[in-house]
Structure 1
Amino acid sequence: MKLAIIGAGMIVKDYLTMVSDIPEIKLNAIVGVEQDVPTMQELSEKYGIKKVFTNYEECLKQADIDTVYVALPNFLHYAYAKKALESGKNVICEKPFTLKLSEMRELKKLALDKNLILVEAITNQYLTNYKELKESLKKIGDIKLIECNYSQYSHRYDAFKEGKILPVFDPKKGGGALMDINIYNIHFIVGILGKPKSVKYMANIERGIDTSGMLILDYGNTKVVCIGSKDTSAKIQTTIQGNAGSVIVNGPTNVLSDFDINLNNGFSKHVDDKINDHRMYEEFKKFNELVADHDMDFVKKELDHSESVMEIVDMALRDADIQLG
């Protein structure tokens, strides 16, 4: 994979600490705005990124790249992903894919029409522990209840209360607890159960944005609540309850560092089969393989998954009367 990284924020800095573990990924460009230049130059020197750009179009034309990693604020995902696809580049797009279901569907059609790889960078779908967890669910019988709680008080919330609107709490920029933090829980659930029968989002809304909320998904015989909060803190864990036992995920659903199986017959087991300490390793290892093999069947499957997630997001936002973008 000959990669161009779009962005120079926290997620990019985190990603770069891991990427040397996948030597097949060639860091051929990084793109940012003028004020990012000192940071990009520092990252370029530290991690061996070949070229620094402040003009996206020039990067798409001049850089020796076949894939773009869109690691920008939520509201920019659609435009930057679209431009890359139109330029014939594969795209890895950070979560959430887009702010609107219609935008995601447009990108999906464009990518498939042009036979290009388009995937959402959503860590849990690629983690070995997640795959092991899904196999383990067979042991706990019929799944009755699931509670995902990802509540993490944001230091930006203090600024928000004082009137300073940063992107994570800005409805115009696709902020809010659902899009920033609860989106991981949604991906986690859809990867297990698929699309629900109904969606309800009960949100705490301040200045037009959800600072926390409970997303209720009804699967008929299985009821799910996904809690995402940036204005409170609590123990971050997920509990899956079946009629033969339970599974408890310790920590957030985007990391899935380990989990415990507890059966009614007294059997218990702690599981931690991760193959790398960095949560992004396994997804980018797979993305590199996708580009090398041009595995469009896998791409279509993952796009269908992401579309199901965006359908839930779209219904939740409408239910809570939240207008993004």
Structure 2
Amino acid sequence: MIRLAVIGTNWITQKFVQAALGTMSFQLSAVYSRSLSSAKDFADEFVTASANICLFDNLDELAKSDNVDAVYIASPNSLHAEQAMLMMDNGKHVICEKPIASNLEQALQAVENAERNQVVFFEAYKSEFLPNFKLIQAGVAKIGRLHKAHLSYCQYSSRYQKYLNGENPNTFNPKFSNGSLMDIGFYCVSAAVALFGKPTKVQASGVLLNSGVDGHGDAIFSYPEFNVTLSHSKVSDSHQPSEIQGENGSIIIDHIAECTKVTIEYRDGRTEELSVEQADNSMSYEAEEFARRIKQKDFTRDKRALIVSEITTEMRKQIGVQFPADAE
């Protein structure tokens, strides 16, 4: 069993632990929170599945713990790279919520740290490991020569009203390396890179909130023979699917992050359903992949994560979003 620790006790951490335990490869061995009482409340849910869960409110002590093999990081974005490197310097494998870093420089430092320590460093971009995403990758060959794609993820944030009320939550605070692009826009950028590779040119635009982060934005990724347009927003909803257009037909994707339904509509009028039923907890597949890499000592550099970090860093420059981490 891989002894897993978690940093952060929010809903996404809960969901990942449930997914990890479901793979039968992990046991929850430690929980970190700034408050020991919060750590205990989180751990109490899993005591029947994992005995002897250690509680920490000190990251250095967690990093040095002999009771931990791997760590899941779900802290604010601005802390990802620093915390990941602390854990890896102490021999821990790391799966870090997306994005792995605030900017490309930090991402490179973290990846090089993982290689130096010979540990797994894995960005928790779950979509890439979904069965339906793999079917999209395979389905691209069926629609012929590509000309256009549109990837969209727009969702009114549950914390937007708090921002409007003047509370300045993490989600809309540059101090925490956040905003629409670094949150849900990340899924559009990562999907484009996972499907088509690194674009030859990136053009980005966005609308900034008074806090200094983007509330929504768009981008055009140029490839030698086709373009990909991206739309993302945390201040409005969209029910528009994503689409990949080829000369023989188009792939229609419901919810680019979850890939809940994938269909090909051919030019001759035929329709082909590609999607299959996926696990209720869509984080299960990334948990399985993380376990595989640890067991097989697969320390392969995550090229997609680095390309995405390079692109989002450039997009923020074009939009005018600056994080404190950029000045460090």
Q: Normalising to structure 2: TM-score of the pair?
A: 0.93
Write the distance in 2 (CA, Å) between the matches of 1:228 and 1:222: 20
1:218 partnered with 2:222: yes
Note if 1:78 corresponds to 2:81.
yes
Aligned residue for 1:246?
250
In 2, the alpha carbon distance for the partners of 1:234 and 1:257 equals 16
Counterpart for residue 192 of structure 1: 195
Q: 2:205 matched to 1:206?
A: no
Runs of 4+ in 1 over 6 A off after TM superposition: none
Between 1:163-172 and 1:268-277, the stretch displaced more is 268-277
The answer for the alignment partner of 1:45 in structure 2 is 47
Is the deviation greater in 97-106 or in 58-67?
58-67
How big is the shift at 1:61?
1.9
Distance verdict in 2 for CA 1:189–1:2, change over 3 Å = same
CA positional deviation for 1:53: 1.3
Inter-partner Cα distance in structure 2 for 1:254 and 1:53 = 32
Aligned equivalent of 2:305: 306
Deviation for aligned residue 1:17: 3.2
Higher helix share: 1
Q: Say whether 1:55 aligns with 2:54.
A: no
Task: In structure 1, give the amino acid aligned to 2:200.
Answer: K
CA–CA separation in structure 2 for the residues paired with 1:38 and 1:154: 28
Provide the C-alpha distance between the structure 2 equivalents of 1:62 and 1:157, rounded to a whole number of angstroms. 38
Residue identity over aligned pairs, in percent, reads 26
Count of aligned pairs between the two proteins: 320
Alignment of 1:235 onto 2:239: yes
17 and 2 in structure 1: CA distance in 2 versus 1, 3 angstrom threshold: closer
SS at match of 2:184: helix
Residue 315 to residue 243, structure 1, CA distance change in 2 (3 Å): same
Structure 1 residue 38 displacement after superposition: 4.6
1:163 maps to 166
Q: Tell me: CA distance 1:178–1:46, structure 2 relative to 1, closer, same or farther (3 Å).
A: farther
Q: Is 1:175 the equivalent of 2:213?
A: no
Q: What is the match of residue 14 of structure 1?
A: 15
Secondary structure of the residue aligned to 1:85 is helix
Q: Distance in 2 between matches of 1:37 and 1:117?
A: 25
Query: TM-score w.r.t. structure 1 length?
Result: 0.94
Q: Residue 11 of structure 2 aligns to which amino acid in structure 1?
A: M
Aligned 8 A contact 2:40 2:55 in 1: no
* Cross-structure match for 1:145: 148
Residue matched to 2:32? 31
Question: How far off its partner does 1:40 sit?
Answer: 2.5
Q: What CA distance in whole angstroms lies between the structure 2 residues aligned with 1:199 and 1:172? A: 25
**Greater Cα offset, 32-41 or 175-184:** 32-41
Quote the Cα distance in structure 1 between the aligned partners of 2:191 and 2:72: 22
Q: Which amino acid aligns with 1:90?
A: H
Structure 1: state its 5+ residue gaps. Answer: none
Alpha-carbon deviation of 1:47? Answer: 4.7
Q: Which amino acid aligns with 1:111?
A: A
Distance 1:30 1:13 in 2: 11
CA RMSD of aligned residues (A): 1.5
- Deviation larger for 14-23 or 95-104: 14-23
